[in-house]
Amino acid sequence: MPALPPVLPARPPRASTEPRLKGMLAIIFWCACGVTAVNLAGPFALIAQIGPHATFNAVIDALSGDSVQSRILRFGLFPQLVLFVWAASFVVLTVMRRQSALLVSRALMLAWLLISAVCQFGIRDAIAPGGMTMEAFAALIPGILAQGVGVAAFWAFMRDGAQPRAYFVR
């Protein structure tokens, strides 16, 4: 009769002085986990549906075309890619409790804001027959500014917040 594997002892409790992942930092962490998971699930779902070779060909065909749809897809994917890099690095650096998370996550979030703004103008330019107009500019600016407010709040929280400082700085 096969033997059961040994039962590992319970992990010792954390010292009460050791900072924990909680509050707003925990919310940001779990949102980053979600962004990472969704961006990983998409390609794997496509591979499961049509296979790896067909997936590769479909992605290359979609991204390399000169149609308006291909241009919009390219402009839409760049911010997603940067957001995925931010989310995955934030998750890894948070789990590892690396102090570099305080700077890396802010820099990547700022990069996302800038790339997202440029790509929003690119999408608008791709779908507008007459190019960028003042009306299009006026329609895009409030959303870009709102994203800027969110990035500024994240930047300040990660730079000055007591919770991130306590968690990442040992």
Residue at 12 is within a domain: no
Region of poorest pLDDT, from 54-63, 118-127, 151-160: 54-63
pLDDT in tens, 5-64: 888 887 776 666 778 899 999 999 999 999 999 999 988 998 999 999 988 888 888 888
Which candidate, 109, 106, 85, 102, places its Cα nearest to that of 168? 102
3-state secondary structure of 13: coil
Which pairs count as long-range contacts for 60-67, CB under 8 Å and 24+ apart, including other chains?
Answer: none
**Strand (E) or helix (H) holding 141:** helix 134-160
More confident residue, 57 or 2: 57
Residue at 47 is within a domain: yes
- The DSSP line for 60-118 is HHHHH--SHHHHHHHHHHHHHHHHHHHHHHHHHHHHTT-TTHHHHHHHHHHHHHHHHHH
Residue at 58 is within a domain: yes
Alpha-carbon gap, residue 27 to 12, rounded angstroms? 25
Residue at 157 is within a domain: yes
What is the model's pLDDT at position 136? 81
Its pTM stands at 0.83
Range of the domain at 76: 23-168
Q: Distances from the Cα of 18 to the Cαs of 39, 76, 116, 169, in angstroms?
A: 32, 41, 37, 11
Residue at 61 is within a domain: yes
Question: Considering the chain, what is the average pLDDT of its residues?
Answer: 90
Degrees to nearest 5, angle at CA 126 with 120 and 128? 100
Total number of domains constituting the chain = 1
At 148, the pLDDT band (50, 70, 90 cuts) reads: very high
Alpha-carbon gap, residue 93 to 83, rounded angstroms? 15
pLDDT in tens, 136-145: 888 899 999 9
Residue at 13 is within a domain: no
What is the model's pLDDT at position 14? 65
Residue at 11 is within a domain: no
Residue at 10 is within a domain: no
